[in-house]
Amino acid sequence: MRDLGTIAVETIACRALANDAYILANATRRSVYDAMYLALAVRLDTRMITADERLANTLATIPLVGSHIQKIQDFDGH
């Protein structure tokens, strides 16, 4: 736990993601709340890890965002 303070953390304001999140929420028929995390994953070209299996299954089928979602049970740490 003590090492947690040595990790570099990048912050991105919600305001900076709001437009993309709104577009993604409409396109995927998900909440803006879920879409904020997805917009962040897309912007950082990484994956959103979720325990919400229904969310993951739905988003995995959508081109352009499917590669940015992963179920937590499939997460191997990389």
Q: What is the pLDDT of residues 43-62, one digit of tens each?
A: 999 999 999 999 999 999 99
Low-confidence stretches of the chain (pLDDT beneath 50): none
Residue 76, pLDDT score: 82
Tokens standing for residue 27? 């396109």
The full set of domain ranges for the chain reads 4-74
Q: 46, 69 in Cβ contact below 8 A? A: no
